[in-house]
Copies of this chain bind each other. A is one copy, B any other.
């Protein structure tokens, strides 16, 4: 899995350093997108500043993407490091449900085509109540 990463970095002329590996590993080990504060805590040996710089670089290179998430933003690996998908977010219990919707991807393409827009990325999120929280009437 680091091979892919080495390839991207080598091609672009960047160095694969230990702080960058650490941030990558934390993201790779997580089921869900992570807030910067969480990543900082998860990499106690890496300076705060390097986390910011690393996430900026990762996002610029398309290794990570910024995910809308209630009030804050979070970071998540993108394809090919994590398959492209979106989220349903329960505002009551905080649970995240991954969704892989072919229809949604088609709509993205259709909208871009109609507007003569060249899409690079897209964000999508539904917030509301999960099955469980609907039942336990909130």
Contacts and interface: CB of A to CB of B under 8 A. Distances in A.
For chain A, give the interface size range.
35 or more
Contact of A97 (B88, B104, B115, B121): B115
A121 B128 contact: yes
A129 interface: yes
Interface stretch (A1-9, A10-18, A22-30, A66-74): A66-74
A103 interface: yes
B101 A117 contact: no
Contacts of A70: 66
A71 B124 CA distance: 15
A126 interface: yes
A126 B119 contact: yes
A57 interface: no
A84 interface: no
Contact of A126 (B88, B97, B112, B127): B112
B120 A128 contact: yes
Contacts of A134: 116, 118
A107 B115 contact: no
B125 A123 contact: yes
Interface of A: 66, 68, 70-71, 73, 88, 90-91, 97, 99, 101, 103-104, 107-108, 110-112, 115-131, 134
